[in-house]
Amino acid sequence: MKFKRFPMNKEVQSHQQTQMVKRSALQDMLVEASRPGVLSFALGLPAPELFPTSEYARAIDHVLSTKTQALQYGPPFQPLKEQITKLMTLRGVECKPEQVFLTSGAQQGISLLAQLLLHSGRQVIVEELAYTGFQQVLESYEPEIISVPTNIETGMEVDVVQRLLEQGARPAFIYTVTDGHNPLAVSMSNVKRIHLMEVAKRYCVPIIEDDPYGFIYYHDKLNPPLRAIDDQWVFYVGSFSKILAPALRVGWIIAPEAYITHLPNIKEASDINTSTLNQYAISHYLDSGHLTTHLQTLRDEYRIRRDAMLSALDRHFPRASRWHKPTSGIFIWVELPKGIDTVEALKISLETERIAFIPGQAFCVNNDCQASHCMRLNFSNSSVAGIEDGIPRLARVLTR
């Protein structure tokens, strides 16, 4: 526990230790899950065969042969910021290049924002089940985590948020994934978005809106994110990881103007700057106009995989299981009959079928969350054949 920044009281320590033990047992399994030969529905990986590899290779080649500063340290690339503002209009967001802050991926975006807004011991409002990478960010600050439930069809229970604030909660921020929720795959209803913004503004609480999946939708366009409703309290976090490729490590924050000048210092302290080469290459790729077609390819192909998984679940999973058809993102959240322990099931699944998924428990932000009978399945990183082979085998493990 050496790396904690803050002297801990016994209670916190013991909770933290439980969390860490739980997580490291899980991490061991996830190492298992990444071994060759394992069919994995575990991680939130995009499909590598869909990466626009040759277009990106051409972009890098162009940049390296024309820009002498491409391999140098460099300031944020202004044309890329402008292109991001254009991209954001596809999400219904109007913003200015001055509000765009470039990061080394969305994870760094969240990490920098925690540094900006949070200090040890403060409160944070977050859903009971939340992205593990966000939980890792929180760990070193040891905030008081106030969790709110999520309705599987309409998203975060904003009424509960309102009640907490009325009762005196004063969080450093509220964290939410409004679309393609990780792990619940739900999109927040429009009514709730408007309500959440009303409440946040009334109580002056910033919101970190994590939106890695907002361009990956399967039916109509998604509702505009919170950032489209308000530009004073929302820190929107976007990324090229899911729409281009994760290895570029480029993402962005759209920050309220009052805060934008605070970000460069924190960013420089973290890693000086985002790779100049990748900024230039992404900008060149975007200039080529290929992204629109590429996004459509992703949506079409991921929709096919999602439907294959939904159909296989329908045919093979235990009767009393429940899931919802996600309208965006890359996950399906499955609630199995109570009594099935998915941590146990993962162990057996890896041993007998060499199939991996993430047990619901991994996403719990505190100990009273009930997800030990749940699992998160990823469909973007498996072929239809893999899904049709894997889901019945996984079902066998669950019904043994």
Contact set with a copy of itself (CB under 8 A): 2-7, 34, 43, 45-46, 48-49, 51, 53-54, 56-57, 60-61, 64-65, 68-75, 104-105, 107-108, 111, 115-120, 133, 136-137, 139-141, 241, 245-249, 259, 262, 265-266, 268-272, 274-278
Cβ closer to a copy of itself: 73 or 289? 73
How, if at all, do strands 207-210 and 173-176 pair?
parallel
Cβ proximity to a copy of itself, 3 vs 11, nearer residue: 3
CB closer to a copy of itself, 7 vs 339:
7
Residue 371 to residues 111, 278, 324, 368, Cα–Cα distance (Å): 26, 39, 16, 9
The phi and psi torsions of 28 (rounded to 5 degrees) equal -55, -45
Instruction: Report in angstroms how near the CB of residue 43 gets to a copy of itself at its nearest.
Output: 7
- Residue 358 parent element (H or E): strand 358-359
Contacts of 253 (CB under 8 A, 6+ apart): 100, 101, 103, 109, 112, 113, 235, 236, 237, 238, 263
Nearer to a copy of itself, 266 or 348 (CB): 266
Smallest distance from the beta carbon of 396 to a copy of itself, in angstroms? 29
What is the residue-wise DSSP string for 227-266?
Answer: HHH-SSSEEEEEESTTTT-GGG--EEEE--HHHHTTHHHH
Identity of residue 76:
P
Provide the minimum distance between the beta carbon of 273 and a copy of itself in the complex, in angstroms, as a whole number. 8
Compute the radius of gyration of the chain from its Cα atoms. Answer: 21
Do 374 and 359 form a contact (C-beta atoms < 8 A)? yes
Three-state secondary-structure class, residue 381: coil
Nearest-angstrom CA–CA distance, 108 and 270: 9
Nearer to a copy of itself (CB atom), residue 130 or residue 334: 130
DSSP state of 332: E
Least CB distance to a copy of itself at residue 254 (A):
18
Nearer Cβ to a copy of itself (270/327): 270
Shortest distance, CB of residue 185 to a copy of itself, whole angstroms? Answer: 20
CA distance 359 to 342: 5
The structure tokens listed for 63 are 């940049």
Element (H, E) at 208: strand 207-210
- Closer CB to a copy of itself, residue 77 or residue 357? 77
As measured in angstroms, the least distance from the Cβ of 113 to a copy of itself is 10
Convert 106-128 to b/e letters by CB count within 10 Å (16 or more is b).
Answer: bbbbbbbbbbbbbeeeebbbbbb
Q: Is 16 helix (H, G, I), strand (E, B) or coil?
A: helix
Q: How far is the CB of 344 from a copy of itself (least distance, A)?
A: 24
Q: Are 160 and 149 a contacting pair, CB within 8 Å?
A: yes
Q: C-beta of 164: minimal distance to a copy of itself in Å?
A: 22
Smallest distance, Å, CB 301 to a copy of itself? 16
Q: Where are the alpha helices (DSSP H) in the chain?
A: 10-33, 53-66, 78-89, 106-117, 132-139, 158-166, 190-202, 226-229, 257-260, 263-271, 276-287, 291-316, 342-348, 384-398
Instruction: Give the residue with the Cβ less far from a copy of itself, 242 or 373.
Output: 242
- Compare residues 6 and 322 and give the one whose CB is closer to a copy of itself: 6
CB of 268 to a copy of itself, least distance (A): 6
User: Which CB atom, from 41 or from 323, has the smaller least distance to a copy of itself?
Assistant: 41
